[in-house]
Amino acid sequence: MTRARGIIWTRVALIVGAVGLIELLCRLGVIKPLTMIAPSQMAFELAHMIASGELTAPAAYTFTEVGTAFAVSVVAGGALGALVHAQPRLRRALDPLLVSWYAVPFFVFYPLLVALFGLNALPLIAIGVIFAAPAMMLSTLAGLDRVPRVMRKVARVHRLSRVQEVRLITLPSAAPHLFTGLKLAFAYSFIGIIAGEFILSGGGLGYGIAYAYESFENRRMYALMLFVLLIATGVNGALHMWDGRLARRRGRT
Amino acid sequence: MSTGDRQVAHATLRGVTRVYPGVTPVHALGPLDLDLARGEFFSVVGPSGCGKSTLLDVLAGLNPPTAGRVSFEGKPIVGEVPDGIGVVFQEDASLPWLTVRDNVAFGLRRAGTESAEIARRVAYAIGFMGLDDFAGAYPAQLSGGMRQRVCIARTLVLQPRLILLDEPFGALDQQTRLLMGDELLRLWRETGSTVLLITHALDEAALLSDRVGVMSARPGRFIDLVSTGWARDRDSRIASDPSFGAITARLWAALRPESMKAMGRQAL
Query: Residue A25: inside a domain, yes or no?
Result: no
By the CB < 8 Å criterion, does B257 face chain A?
Answer: no
What's the pLDDT score for residue B8? 67
Angle at B197 between CA B191 and CA B201, to 5 degrees: 130
Q: Inform me whether the pLDDT recorded for A164 exceeds 50.
A: yes
Q: Is B62 in the A-facing interface, judged by CB distances under 8 Å?
A: yes
- Give the pLDDT band (50/70/90) at residue B219: very high
Beta-carbon separation of B95 and A251 below 8 A: no
The answer on pLDDT for B135 being more than 90 is yes
- In three state form, how does the secondary structure of chain A look? CCHHHHHHHHHHHHHHHHHHHHHHHHHCCCCCCCCCCCHHHHHHHHHHHHHHCCCHHHHHHHHHHHHHHHHHHHHHHHHHHHHHHHCHHHHHHHHHHHHCHHHCCHHHHHHHHHHHHCCCCHHHHHHHHHHHHHHHHHHHHHHHHCCCHHHHHHHHHCCCCHHHHHHHHHHHHHHHHHHHHHHHHHHHHHHHHHHHHHHHCCCHHHHHHHHHHHCCCHHHHHHHHHHHHHHHHHHHHHHHHHHHHHHHHHCCC
Q: What pLDDT digit, counting tens, does each position of A117-135 carry?
A: 888 889 999 999 999 999 9
Residue B10 dihedral angles phi and psi, to the nearest 5° = -90, -40
Kindly report the CATH number assigned to the domain that includes residue A231: 1.10.3720.10
CA distance A128 to B265: 62
Mean pLDDT of chain B: 90
The pLDDT value recorded for residue A252 is 58
* Domain extent for A101: 37-250
Inside any domain, residue A95: yes
Say if A197 falls within a structural domain: yes
- Residue of chain B minimizing CA distance to A253: B140
Cα Dmax for chain B: 61
- Identify which of B81, B86, B140 has the shortest CB distance to residue A250: B140
Q: Which residues of A touch B61 (CB under 8 A)?
A: 156
pLDDT computed for residue A1 by the predictor: 63
Return the residue in B91, B102, B152 with the most chain A beta carbons within 10 A, the one to mutate for interface testing.
Answer: B91
In this complex, is the C-beta atom of B60 within 8 Å of any C-beta atom belonging to chain A? yes
* Nearest CA-CA distance, residue A185 and chain B, Å: 23
Residue A244 forms part of a structural domain? yes
d(CA A205, CA A198): 8
**Could you tell me the pLDDT band of residue A137, with boundaries at 50, 70 and 90?**
very high
Judging contacts by C-beta atoms under 8 Å, the chain A residues touching residue B85 are 157
- Note whether ipTM > 0.95 here: no
Ramachandran quadrant class, A119 (left: phi over 0; alpha: psi -120 to 50; beta: rest): beta
Is A17 domain-assigned?
no
**B window 117-156, beta carbon within 8 A of A:** 138-141
State whether residue B91 sits within 8 Å of chain A by CB.
yes
Does residue A31 fall inside a structural domain?
A: no
Contact across the interface for A251 and B140, Cβ inside 8 Å: yes
Provide the pLDDT confidence category of residue B39 given band limits of 50, 70 and 90.
Answer: very high
Q: Which residue has the higher pLDDT, B173 or B238?
A: B238
In a domain, A27, yes or no: no
User: Shortest Cα distance from A19 to chain B (angstroms)?
Assistant: 40
Q: Which residues of A touch B (CB under 8 A)?
A: 148, 150-151, 153-154, 156-160, 164, 168-169, 172-173, 175, 249-252
Confidence of residue B5 (pLDDT cuts 50, 70, 90): very low
What percentage of chain A exceeds 70 in pLDDT? 99
Across the interface, whether the CB atoms of A153 and B62 are under 8 A apart is answered yes
Task: Please count the residue pairs, one from chain A and one from chain B, whose beta carbons lie less than 8 angstroms apart.
Answer: 55
Residue B146, pLDDT above cutoff 60: yes
Residue B60 near residue B81 (C-beta atoms within 8 A): yes
Question: Are residues B87 and A157, on separate chains, in Cβ contact within 8 Å?
Answer: yes
Pick B110's closest partner by Cβ from A160, A172, A251: A160
Q: What is the mean pLDDT of residues A37-51?
A: 95
* Number of domains making up chain A: 1
User: Which of A158, A160, A166, A248 to mutate to probe the B interface, most B CBs <10 Å?
Assistant: A158
pLDDT at B178: 87
Bridge partners, residue B212, by sequence: B43, B226
CB contacts of B81 in chain A (<8 Å) are 156-157, 159
Under 8 Å between Cβ of B169 and B17: no
What is the model's pLDDT at position B58? 96
A250 contact residues in B (CB cutoff 8 A) = 96-97, 138, 140
Q: Encode pLDDT of A196-246 as tens digits.
A: 998 887 889 999 999 999 998 999 999 999 999 999 999 988 988 888 888
Mean pLDDT (chain A) is 91
Question: Which is higher by pLDDT, B35 or A248?
Answer: B35
Has residue B33 got a pLDDT over 80? yes
Is pLDDT of A168 > 90? Answer: yes
**Cβ distance of A159 and B86 shorter than 8 Å:** no
Q: Which of A153, A157, A172 sits opposite B97 (nearest CB)?
A: A172
Q: Collect all residues of chain B within an 8 Å Cβ-Cβ radius of residue A244.
A: none
Inter-chain touch A251–B138, beta carbons under 8 Å: yes
Residue of A242, A137, A144 lying closest to A181 (CA atoms) = A137
Give me the count of residues in chain B: 268
Question: Given strand B26-37, what is the order of strands in its sheet?
Answer: B26-37, B9-20, B67-72, B75-76
For the cut 90, the answer to whether the pLDDT of residue A65 exceeds it is yes
Could you tell me which of B102, B131, B129, B132 has the C-alpha nearest to residue B118? Answer: B102
Task: Give chain B's domains with CATH numbers.
Answer: 1-84+163-268 (3.40.50.300), 92-159 (no CATH)
- In percent, the amount of chain B with pLDDT more than 90 equals 71
A63 found inside a domain: yes
List chain B residues with CB under 8 Å of A164: 110
Q: How confident is the model at residue B7 (pLDDT cuts 50, 70, 90)?
A: low
C-beta atoms of A159 and B96 within 8 A: no
